[in-house]
Amino acid sequence: MASSSVIFQIALVLLSLTDSGLSHGVGINYGQIANNLPSPSRVAILLRSLNISRVKLYDADPSVLVAFSNTNVDFIIGLGNEYLENMTDPLKAQAWIEEHVSPHLLQTKITCITVGNEIFNSNDTGLMSNLLPAMQTVYTSLVNLGLDKQVAVTTAHSLAILGNSYPPSSGTFRQDLAEYLQPLLSFHAQTKSPFLINAYPYFAYKDNPGEVPLEYVLFLPNQGMTDPITNLHYDNMLYAQLDAVYSAIRAMGHTDIEVRISETGWPSKGDANEAGATPENAGLYNGNLLRRIEQRQGTPAKPSVPIDIYVFALFNEDLKPGPASERNYGLYYPDGSPVYDIGLQGYLPELTISSATATAINALSIFYFLIFLVTCSICS
């Protein structure tokens, strides 16, 4: 045990010298609807080996937030849809923050809370009506606790909130959602929080594989599309979707809100009727996307604003309901091996150690290192 721990520690040291290097902050969704995932402390090492420093959770799992103590990883945490009603109550909202956010802030960077996920896809008008009040109440609680400058409040939307997305300059929200979205946008503008959208060109391809060119959705060379109104040229669907959201927001009178992609990805496997769900296509989508993020590309309508993206997802999640694709969006299998090769060979350690043990081992390895230096200077 002792010797394997030392090896483990040495691996960590080597790791920090040879970061495999995602240089420009791609984020990753760390979903946990599975019964076979590695422990959060092993995942912390995997992400460090990949130089991934932005993580999005769907909850506020304390075991994850504690495992990432002192790692410099920036977290978006989530309040599930089932919390919306309670979060409209100021006492419950403040209690939730005091229990799930405040205790972690000294060791773990939590920069954002998503209140609900894809609420306008739920067909549940009760949830829709509670969304903004819940966001406002959570925000007010943060203000009262003096945390509003470090933690932003938002929610994540499905792209299906768009009524029109083509051409991108004519993007608009669904008419029936205007009563909810207009005040929601004012909230974003007032609190300077980002508008989050889950955008999957894969869905457009899967629904219409005969019409949508695969090259256009996979960031491969293709003739693309020119927006007839702006003359802007689009070489991929994701950027067109993002600009359609900017247009929809502008159509409601706002040019002051930042849009980020809270989820995008491509499944490596699907059912027989899920066209395009292959490891080759998933590797092309995510690999090409990472290159564009690294180049800090903006969209045609916002060329100077680098796209800000959380890839979906870190692991395949075996307990997700729905079609097979749902369980196969991961970049990694639960054992830490990549599902396909996009140059992200991470390191998932076999064993985990408590931080007290780690500190002891650290001291021990410094001691060994000193002996090593002394021996070297003697022998040379």
117 vs 154, beta carbon nearer ligand NAG: 117
Q: Which of 25, 103, 194, 213 binds ligand NAG (CB under 6 A)?
A: 25
CA 339, CA 299: separation in Å to the nearest integer? 29
CA 276, CA 375: separation in Å to the nearest integer? 59
Supply the minimum distance, in Å, between the C-beta of residue 226 and ligand NAG. 32
CA 211, CA 204: separation in Å to the nearest integer? 10
Nearest to 284 by CA among 216, 378, 332: 216
DSSP reduced 3-state for 135:
helix
178 vs 220, beta carbon nearer ligand NAG: 178
Residue 71 near ligand NAG by CB under 6 A: no
List C-alpha distances in Å: 329 to 101, 158, 180, 343, 370.
Answer: 28, 17, 31, 17, 46
- Look up 258 and say whether it is catalytic: no
What lies within 8 Å, CB to CB, of 332 at 6+ separation is: 46, 314, 315, 316, 338, 339, 346, 348
What lies within 8 Å, CB to CB, of 113 at 6+ separation is: 76, 77, 78, 79, 101, 138, 151, 152, 153, 154
What lies within 8 Å, CB to CB, of 68 at 6+ separation is: 40, 44, 55, 75, 108
DSSP reduced 3-state for 335:
coil
Q: Please report where in the chains the tokens 């995932």 appear, as a residue.
A: 37
Q: Which residues pair with residue 332 across a beta bridge?
A: 315, 338
Residue 69 near ligand NAG by CB under 6 A: no
82, 263, 280, 326: which is the annotated catalytic residue?
A: 263
23 vs 39, beta carbon nearer ligand NAG: 23
CA 263, CA 199: separation in Å to the nearest integer? 6
- Look up 118 and say whether it is catalytic: yes
DSSP-derived secondary structure for 2-29: HHHHHHHHHHHHHHHHS-----S--EEE
Stretch that binds ligand NAG, among 30-38, 80-88, 324-332, 353-361 (CB under 6 A): 80-88
Supply the minimum distance, in Å, between the C-beta of residue 123 and ligand NAG. 4
Residue 125 near ligand NAG by CB under 6 A: no
Residue 191 near ligand NAG by CB under 6 A: no
Q: Which of 11, 34, 53, 209 binds ligand NAG (CB under 6 A)?
A: 53
Q: What are phi and psi of 22, to 5 degrees?
A: -95, 115
Stretch that binds ligand NAG, among 18-26, 27-35, 229-237, 320-328 (CB under 6 A): 18-26
52 vs 64, beta carbon nearer ligand NAG: 52
Residue 21 near ligand NAG by CB under 6 A: yes
Q: Which of 5, 69, 71, 86 binds ligand NAG (CB under 6 A)?
A: 86
232 vs 261, beta carbon nearer ligand NAG: 261
Q: What are phi and psi of 113, to 5 degrees?
A: -120, 125
Q: Which of 4, 7, 14, 19 binds ligand NAG (CB under 6 A)?
A: 19
What lies within 8 Å, CB to CB, of 103 at 6+ separation is: none
Q: Which of 10, 15, 51, 302 binds ligand NAG (CB under 6 A)?
A: 51
82, 98, 118, 215: which is the annotated catalytic residue?
A: 118
Supply the minimum distance, in Å, between the C-beta of residue 20 and ligand NAG. 7
Q: Which residues pair with residue 173 across a beta bridge?
A: 162
Residue 123 near ligand NAG by CB under 6 A: yes
Q: Which of 102, 122, 170, 365 binds ligand NAG (CB under 6 A)?
A: 122
Stretch that binds ligand NAG, among 120-128, 153-161, 222-230, 291-299 (CB under 6 A): 120-128
Residue 23 near ligand NAG by CB under 6 A: yes
53 vs 191, beta carbon nearer ligand NAG: 53
Residue 172 near ligand NAG by CB under 6 A: no
Count of residues engaged in binding ligand NAG, rule: CB under 6 A: 12
Supply the minimum distance, in Å, between the C-beta of residue 23 and ligand NAG. 4
Nearest to 160 by CA among 198, 192, 117, 187: 198
User: Which residues lie near ligand NAG (CB under 6 A)?
Assistant: 19, 21, 23, 25, 51, 53, 82-83, 86, 121-123
Q: Which residues are catalytic?
A: 118, 263
